[in-house]
Amino acid sequence: MFPGNFEYVRAGNLKEALTLLSGEDCKALAGGHSLIPLLKQRLAQPAKLVDISGLDELKGVTVEAGKARVGALTTHRELAASEALQGAAQVLSEAASKVGDPQVRNRGTLGGNIAHADPASDLPAVLLALDAEVSIVGPNGSRSTKADGFFSGLMDTDLAENEVISHVEFSSLGAGDASAYCKFEHPASGYAICGAAAVIRGSEVRLAFNGVAAVPFLASAVGDSLSGSDLSDAAIDSALSALEHDDPLSDLHASAEYRLHLAKVYGGRALRAARDRRG
């Protein structure tokens, strides 16, 4: 498959990237593992690609003073291998390690993944479960938004055309906290038919899903009913039995009914794994 014609420029720094992106019909290019396939299918035909993959200021993981900060250009492979994240948010490493295959993980980035907002991507639910904030820079300066408000529709986000995600931030998990990501893979694409991210922080429990619906979502009722509970198998099963969604995705590989069923099974598996990981 062959993309239509486009121009290509490489940004040297964030400021330059923002200037370039303020032009007509431009698109940021990070790892290219979602954007290039769209170009090849001619589902996207931007006039200009602004390659931001060289911007070192948007790379890397730092954990300091209870805060974890992950640059938008951090690759899946770096997330999966990050020692700092093992303690601060194992769920993020674990989810990243389950993205695609080694080539995809070597090129694909956190920022690209959440900007693209494929409903079957692995990282969005993780950010919801971690209660992360997404930091965004644009022509008028920077702003940040809760992950919970960031994902607004099917492959749609709060991001404007000329904005760039700079990083993602969340409170790191402490001793006695734990998290886990469990994924039911699509047999063809390897994307999530259902991905469940569970975070237990003190007595608070948060559970979020990818793949199940058009937009990743936080299962607040499940989390609320488990927060403060003993997290016994019975408590988990009972909380999940009430899991509902108005409009689960339905396709060739999984009907809405089956997806919701998988959410209960995988939600349970993620919660149990997190529970059992607590110190």
Q: Which residues bind to another protein, rule: CB under 8 A?
A: 1-2, 4-5, 41-42, 184, 186-189, 191, 252-255, 258, 261-262, 265
Q: How far is the CB of 224 from ligand FAD (least distance, A)?
A: 27
* Residue placing its CB nearer to ligand FAD in the complex, 98 or 275: 98
Largest CA distance in the chain: 58
Binding to ligand FAD (CB under 6 A) within 181-210 occurs at: 190-191
The secondary structure of 201-227 as a DSSP string is: ETTEEEEEEESSBSS-EE-HHHHHHHT
Q: Quote the least distance from Cβ 4 to ligand FAD, whole Å.
A: 16
In the window 121-140, what residues touch ligand FAD (CB under 6 A)?
Answer: 121-123
The window from 142-150, 157-165, 171-179, 236-244 that contacts ligand FAD (CB under 6 A) reads 157-165
Q: CA gyration radius for the chain? A: 18
Q: Which of residues 89-128 bind ligand FAD (CB under 6 A)?
A: 99-100, 104, 107-109, 111-113, 115-116, 121-123
- Nearest to residue 28, comparing CAs of 48, 42, 3? 48
Q: Report the alpha-carbon distance of residue 28 to residue 153 in Å, rounded.
A: 20
CA–chain centroid gap for 67, Å, is: 18
Least Å from the CB of residue 183 to ligand FAD: 8
CA torsion 65-124-181-260 (nearest 10°) is: 140
- Based on CB atoms, which residue is closest to ligand FAD, 24 or 246? 24
